[in-house]
């Protein structure tokens, strides 16, 4: 297995990781990324195979788990009930209960709300320049999730602050101060969600919290701790992916001088899928060996982590013609941006719907939209999103 070196916080890598991906992809199905001290999978077929391999999961075997530092107990108390971090049978039970409440019909019904919200936010733009990241891309997913859950929309900024603090735990730049902030946010977020769950138990409403409380399978319901974690997960994972996807997508459309016809009703789905493929919001998804195994000719030990490089797979020339070219007419082919297998993103249909509505509204309302300055990516790897997106209109 060949070794590669690349700091995930280096300025040039943060701004453009794709040359590094192009360099490692031909080195073999698996490579060893020294900076992470970890096995990585880069090719399209390899990543998809690993995401679907039942010998690999998300949980570290109990006898190999490191003790949780005391200062991080609040954060990991929430993670302990996250379906994103669990394997069957707990994952199967949690995911099926969530899907009983988070239905495709319920998501589709949000379309008019997403459209109305998009128009309302644009109406509030100041004259001249505006940062679309904070004024548009961040607000849409957080407000929609707040409405879906049934928590007050005016809590959106606080929900976003808690979410950002918790999600920072997955970034390569993680420090003790980031850990302390995540622990504080976890405690406050859990207290807030518990109060709303208690309210909905006493007074049911037509919202996701009520439907999650009511969801039942084989006589089992979600516990209060599972409900708290699930609501937090839906907000954290949902907002992080959609904010970066929308920001990266607007940047790409403007930099590539993409014809506005690419966002026409009969073409917007294809364009949005190309946005997800070309510059996705999440670049790494971890898998853990549940047993000693052989993988693409290499021995992997039980408990060993493998990083699936999702963005690298999306630029594999073996899977896509001219993969480093943004082509909104590219025929749709399943990309890896939402993961795959058992842990395929539950919120993917909502993320797609939000972009398919918010982007056409934005570009139709602001036909002279242009970049006011060159966007810079934030140091948030293994996420990939902008610091800001200043535009003139």
pLDDT of residue 104: 84
User: 143-196 pLDDT, tens per residue?
Assistant: 998 888 888 888 888 988 999 999 999 999 999 999 999 999 999 999 999 999
The answer on pLDDT for 31 being more than 70 is yes
Integer Cα distance of 34 and 375 in angstroms: 29
Integer CA distances (angstroms), 342 to 36, 222, 305, in order: 25, 19, 17
Alpha helices, H only, the chain: 11-15, 18-24, 44-52, 73-79, 90-101, 104-108, 111-123, 132, 139-149, 156-167, 176-202, 208-214, 224-255, 268-278, 310-313, 348-365
Cis geometry, peptide bond prior to residue 43 (ω within 30 degrees of 0) = no
Kindly tell me the number of DSSP H helices and DSSP E strands found in the chain.
Answer: 16, 13
* Cα Rg, the chain, nearest whole Å: 21
Which class for 309: exposed (0-12), middle (13-18), buried (19 or more C-beta within 10 A)?
buried
Instruction: Look at strands 305-309 and 38-41 and give their pairing.
Output: parallel
Backbone φ and ψ for 284, nearest 5 degrees, come out as -135, 135
**Angle value at C-alpha 328, between 389 and 392, nearest 5 degrees:** 25
Segments making up each domain of the chain, as ranges: 3-392
User: 84-143 pLDDT, tens per residue?
Assistant: 899 999 999 888 888 887 788 888 999 999 999 999 999 999 988 999 999 999 999 999
Instruction: Look at strands 293-295 and 298-300 and give their pairing.
Output: antiparallel
Integer Cα distance of 236 and 208 in angstroms: 15
pLDDT of residue 218: 67
The CATH classification number of 3-392 equals 1.10.630.10
**CB contact set of 103 (below 8 Å; sequence gap of 6+):** none
pLDDT of residue 305: 96
Beta carbons within 10 angstroms of residue 311's beta carbon = 24
pTM metric for this prediction: 0.94
Mean pLDDT of 71-89: 93
């Amino acid at each position: 297995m060949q070794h590669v070196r690349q700091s995930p916080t280096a300025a040039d890598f943060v701004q453009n990781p794709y040359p590094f991906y192009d360099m490692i992809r031909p080195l073999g199905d698996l490579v060893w990324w020294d900076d992470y001290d970890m096995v990585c999978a880069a090719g399209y077929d390899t990543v998809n195979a690993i995401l679907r391999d039942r010998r690999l999961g998300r949980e570290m075997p109990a006898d190999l788990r490191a003790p949780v530092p005391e200062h991080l107990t609040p954060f990991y108390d929430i993670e302990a009930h996250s379906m994103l971090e669990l394997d069957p049978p707990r994952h199967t039970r949690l995911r099926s209960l969530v899907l009983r409440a988070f239905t495709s019909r319920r998501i589709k019904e949000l379309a008019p709300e997403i459209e109305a919200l998009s128009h309302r936010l644009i109406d509030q733009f100041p004259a001249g320049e505006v940062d679309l990241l904070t004024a548009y891309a961040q607000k849409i997913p957080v407000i929609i999730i707040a409405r879906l859950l049934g928590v007050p929309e005016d809590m959106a900024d606080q929900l976003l602050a808690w979410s950002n603090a918790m999600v920072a735990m997955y970034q390569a730049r993680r420090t003790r101060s980031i850990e302390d902030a995540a622990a504080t946010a976890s405690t406050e977020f859990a207290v807030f969600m518990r109060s709303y769950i208690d309210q909905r138990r006493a007074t049911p409403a037509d919202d996701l919290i009520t439907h999650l409380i009511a969801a039942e399978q084989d006589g089992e319901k979600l516990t209060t701790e599972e409900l708290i974690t699930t609501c937090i997960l839906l907000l954290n994972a949902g907002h992080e992916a959609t904010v970066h996807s929308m920001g990266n997508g607007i940047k790409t459309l403007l930099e590539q001088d993409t014809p506005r016809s690419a966002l026409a009703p009969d073409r917007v789905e294809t364009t949005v899928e190309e946005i997800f493929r070309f510059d996705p919001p999440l670049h790494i998804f971890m898998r853990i060996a549940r047993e000693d195994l052989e993988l693409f000719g290499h021995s992997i030990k039980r408990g060993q982590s493998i990083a699936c490089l999702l963005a690298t797979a999306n630029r594999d020339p073996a899977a896509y013609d001219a993969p480093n070219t943004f082509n909104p007419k590219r025929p749709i082919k399943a990309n890896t941006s939402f993961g795959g297998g058992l842990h395929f993103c539950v919120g993917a249909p909502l993320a797609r719907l939000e972009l398919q509505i918010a982007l056409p509204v934005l570009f139709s309302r602001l036909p002279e939209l242009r970049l006011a300055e060159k966007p810079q990516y934030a140091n948030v790897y293994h996420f990939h999103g902008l610091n800001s997106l200043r535009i003139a209109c």
